[in-house]
Structures are given as structure tokens and as C-alpha cells.
Amino acid sequence: MAETKKIFTMRFSDDSRKQLSAIADQREVPLAQVVRDAIREYLKANHAA
């Protein structure tokens, strides 16, 4: 996947943030990495050429 230097902001509900934080803690990675991985998987599953 291409690397980018673009920065954007996402807002999550408190419940979603808690769930994502729990996943990040389990994987011992930053929350941002969990979000990037989720977006990457979504794009692979829904935009496969």
C-alpha cells in the first residue's frame, strides 16, 4: 500500500474509542495503528479489483 503524509482527524463515540483502545492494548500497538489496520482491511474487502 502506498505511504502518505496526509494527516486527518477521526472522531469516535466513547464506546467505539473504548473498544479500539482495548484492541490496541491487547495488541500492544498505538490506537492509530489499530485504526489504520481496520481501514486497510475494509478497503481490501470492499474495493478488491
Gap between the Cα atoms of 42 and 36, Å rounded: 10
- For the chain, the C-alpha Rg in angstroms (whole number) is 12
Per-residue confidence in pLDDT tens, the chain, 49 aa:
567 777 878 899 999 999 999 999 999 999 999 999 999 999 999 986 5
DSSP assignment of 1-49: -------------HHHHHHHHHHHHHHTS-HHHHHHHHHHHHHHHHS--
Is the full-model pTM beyond 0.95?
A: no
